[in-house]
Amino acid sequence: MTRLRPAVLVHYHELALKRGNRPLFLRHLVRNLARATADLGPVALRQLSGRILLDLDGHPAPEAVRDRVTRVCGVSSAAIAWRVPSTVEAMKAVIARLIEGRSFASFRITARRAFKTYPLTSVELNRALGAFVLEHAATRVDLHRPELTIHVEVLPAETFVYLDKVPGPGGLPVGASGTVAALLSGGIDSPVAAWRLIKRGCRVLFVHFHSVPYLPATSQAKARALVERLTEWQYESRLLLVPFGEIQREVVLSVPPPARVVVYRRLMIRIAETLARRAGAQALVTGESLGQVASQTLANLARIDEAAGMPVFRPLIGTDKLEITGEAKRLGTFEISIEPDADCCTLFVPAHPATRMSAEEVAAVEARLDVARLVAQGADGAVTETFAFPGAGAPVA
Ligand code: ATP
Ligand code: MG
């Protein structure tokens, strides 16, 4: 009996539509797949037509590889597939091995030919292989809601047979869309917002404002834990920790309480933009959602934007808190975000922040501050930390 040769077969979707840019997108995807699985054992990657193959012959943990791969942005699905010669006999032999000892009330064969010169059509393959399964198992065919789907993909050089297809995140491979800087608080929203951009192919640089020594360092610890979690999706991250307490203290000295929140935000945006430019990032990302809190009214968002000299992306602007929370739970950031802490936004924050400041009012209060000096002070005081996934020691592809 021939030995079964495992592989992970990766399908991508949106990439296939990007005709002109396809080779570049694929380069990013292949590099990220290699990177994401680097610590698990030797993986040989190959591009096939419309798919990527991770050859796992002799690999100690094909399932672990499959699980990592289904968390690589740009992947629509992945499956542990078995490689056989493209003869109906070889296909039958591997199907017999795969269904052995497995009970399933219904099934279907989903055969596809990636090249049309194969002597059998996919319908003929479905029939031949379906009849074979019916001879070997007590089951029936159900094309619409089968308990088991047996996938057969016939490529010129060989055929892949697989049972369980696991969905990936979709989106675009990290690195394909450039770099953005995300303002990361310790809250629930901003990690989700950052992830949305990672999923669209961006490298995200994280910027966190803290108020040490006026407040304990818990917010920094949360930011680190969040970045660590998000690094699982982009493999390398930088977190910039910006000292903001001193800046807030100066704001408190000259800005009346209702205006402070908007002024803090505008300073954060300017500092983040300065850091973003230094790092080659082209846009900012925040976790703001329209109307969620006083600082997130239409008027205040407009005031925040007016302080920015680059696009401010707000991927959660139209998303309800419940949906954001659900996404944070799936991402594994929720548990970190709900840890109690005193965010810098709770420091020197008035009970009733203004919800409708005009541009003139903001300009008038900011005129009492040396904005340029405060921005330089924040940006120059930033401390950089780096993160990697898989952990240290993994080779970088
Ligand atoms: P989150 O859940 O992300 O903390 P929030 O609902 O608490 O958001 P705000 O406090 O108004 O809302 O913050 C809005 C956005 O401003 C955050 O999503 C984040 O992008 C940014 N932000 C707020 N505080 C900080 C901080 N300390 N460091 C970095 N960014 C911050
Ligand atoms: Mg917050």
What is the tens place of the pLDDT at every residue in 220-229? 999 999 999 9
The neighbouring-strand residues paired with 161 are: 82, 152
What pLDDT, in 10s, does the model give residues 344-369? Answer: 666 667 778 888 999 999 999 999 99
Average of per-residue pLDDT across 98-121 = 93
Give nearest CA residue, ligand 1 atom 26: 185
Q: Does ligand 1 come within 6 angstroms of the Cβ of 296? A: yes
CA of 160 to the centre of ligand 2 (A): 48
Q: Does ligand 1 come within 6 angstroms of the Cβ of 269? A: no
Residue 395: pLDDT band with limits 50, 70, 90: very low
What pLDDT, in 10s, does the model give residues 39-90? Answer: 999 999 999 988 999 999 999 999 999 999 999 999 999 999 999 999 999 9
Q: Does ligand 1 come within 6 angstroms of the Cβ of 209? A: yes
Predicted structure pTM score? 0.93
Element (H, E) at 74: none
Residue 293 CA: nearest ligand 1 atom is 11
Q: Give backbone dihedrals phi and psi of 280, rounded to 5 degrees, phi first.
A: 80, 20
Average of per-residue pLDDT across 296-323 = 96
Q: Does ligand 1 come within 6 angstroms of the Cβ of 208? A: yes
CA of 81 to the centre of ligand 2 (A): 44
Q: Which residues fall within 8 angstroms of residue 251, CB to CB, at 6 or more apart? A: 260, 263, 264, 267, 348, 369
Residue 265 CA: nearest ligand 1 atom is 16
Token reading at 186: 């310790």
The DSSP annotation for 187-224 comes to SSHHHHHHHHHHHBT-EEEEEEEE-TTTS-THHHHHHH
CA of 239 to the centre of ligand 2 (A): 17
In this prediction, residue 394 carries a pLDDT of 46
CA of 67 to the centre of ligand 2 (A): 32
Computed over every residue of the chain, the mean pLDDT equals 93
Residue 5: pLDDT band with limits 50, 70, 90: confident
Average of per-residue pLDDT across 328-338 = 97
Q: Which domains does the chain have, with CATH numbers?
A: 5-167 (3.30.2130.30), 179-388 (3.40.50.620)
